[in-house]
Chain A
């Protein structure tokens, strides 16, 4: 018990400090996982195997995974701002924490003098730790247990309401979209079909290459507006030149071979 405590306790304190001090929330979550696993081991050393299992399943399994999921949802790479909105908040917080620590340490110091009774007797009376906890849970605390189920259902319903997003506009189906295109065609003559796709030249088939119309001009619609505005649209005249050069070179080689024959 002593050995387990002195291995786990420093790790837990380190994990807790990491949780508070790491700039990135993912690192905080991982160091919290370390603390939780060590806490489970301490439960086992305090002869509470049921809580050991529950701690690992509920905290490292469910709660931390949910924290990580939400971190992925809201963006992993957003570091905390270090701007103090309240002046001297950090110093005051540290002073307050020190005061709290002193208060609690002095109230605990010397509070426990008798040697530990240990739960061995209670467990032996019930026939085991899990049996003993179950006897209390479904005996003396059965009403609290029922209330817990009500709490869990309420929390689940609440989370569903939070996650529910109300639609502000009706969803557009295929028919509505087709009708809209035909209306636009009737009103302004916009072509109702699909847009022309990007051009293919001998040296490039990228989506940034515009398609050419029969008269050699560029089909504006064939390249995404975003690419055009970003200035990455490839110059079709230049590409045509490269192709023409390549063909000219090939023909010259062909001519030379003809001469050699």
Chain B
């Protein structure tokens, strides 16, 4: 049964990676990163269940906390880029490119 959860986690992770690669909207790319983090969380909890230890759940909890902090800073960056460039497309943030 646990391997089903792992396959689901893999599918979600791959869909998230695909989203990061093909979407130009910074917000949607960011949501895809969140999806990848959650897929990893699901694998952690599934392994915790498999091995009968709660450490996996604690690790998953820490991932959630780090993801929340990451969202705060990432959205702050997106909003400040939007303020100066009037766009959330990742193609338009090219100041370091010039």
Give the residues in chain B near A96, CB-CB below 8 Å: 17, 21
Question: Chain B: how many interface residues by the 8 Å CB criterion?
Answer: 69
Residue of B nearest to A165 (CB): B83
Give the residues in chain A near B50, CB-CB below 8 Å: 112, 114, 116-117
A237 interfacial contact with B, CB 8 Å? no
Residue of A nearest to B59 (CB): A141
Give the residues in chain B near A129, CB-CB below 8 Å: 54, 57
- Cβ-Cβ contact count across A and B, 8 Å cutoff: 232
User: How far is the CB of A184 from the nearest CB of chain B, in Å?
Assistant: 32
B-facing residues in A31-62 (Cβ within 8 Å): 32, 35-36, 39, 42-43, 46-48, 50-51, 54-55, 58-59, 62
Q: A66-B71, A74-B82, A94-B18 are in contact. Are A50 and B57 (CB under 8 A)?
A: yes
User: How far is the CB of A57 from the nearest CB of chain B, in Å?
Assistant: 10
User: How far is the CB of B9 from the nearest CB of chain A, in Å?
Assistant: 9
Residue of B nearest to A42 (CB): B42
Residue of B nearest to A156 (CB): B72
Interface string of A163-180 (1 = CB under 8 A from B): 101000000000000000
CA distance A159 to B75 in the complex (A): 8
Point out the residue from A19, A70, A144, A165 that lies within 8 Å of B78, measured CB to CB. A70
Contact A141 B58 (CB under 8 A): yes
B-facing residues in A147-189 (Cβ within 8 Å): 148, 151-152, 154-156, 158-159, 162-163, 165
Question: Chain A: how many interface residues by the 8 Å CB criterion?
Answer: 83
Give the residues in chain A near B77, CB-CB below 8 Å: 162
User: How far is the CB of B23 from the nearest CB of chain A, in Å?
Assistant: 6
Instruction: Say which one of A119-127, A199-207, A220-228 lies at the interface with B.
Output: A119-127
A17 interfacial contact with B, CB 8 Å? yes
Interface string of A116-142 (1 = CB under 8 A from B): 111111110010010011001100110
A67 interfacial contact with B, CB 8 Å? yes
Point out the residue from A20, A35, A73, A105 that lies within 8 Å of B7, measured CB to CB. A105
Greatest chain B CB density within 10 A among A16, A89, A152, A155 is at A16
A-facing residues in B43-58 (Cβ within 8 Å): 45-46, 48-55, 57-58
Point out the residue from B17, B62, B68, B73 that lies within 8 Å of A62, measured CB to CB. B68
Contact A118 B78 (CB under 8 A): no
Q: Is the interface of A mostly helix, strand, loop or mixed?
A: helix
CA distance A80 to B19 in the complex (A): 12
CA distance A25 to B89 in the complex (A): 12
B95 interfacial contact with A, CB 8 Å? no
A261 interfacial contact with B, CB 8 Å? no
Give the residues in chain B near A117, CB-CB below 8 Å: 49-52
Instruction: Say which one of A1-9, A208-216, A252-260 lies at the interface with B.
Output: A1-9
Residues in chain B within 8 A of chain A (CB atoms): 1-8, 10-19, 21-25, 27-28, 30-32, 34-35, 38, 41-42, 45-46, 48-55, 57-58, 60-62, 64-73, 75-80, 82-83, 88-89, 91
Q: A70-B79, A148-B66 are in contact. List 11 more A-B contacts (CB 8 A).
A: A16-B16, A19-B32, A28-B27, A35-B12, A39-B41, A48-B60, A70-B75, A100-B13, A104-B13, A111-B3, A133-B57
Closest 4 CB pairs of A and B: A117-B52, A162-B76, A155-B69, A93-B21
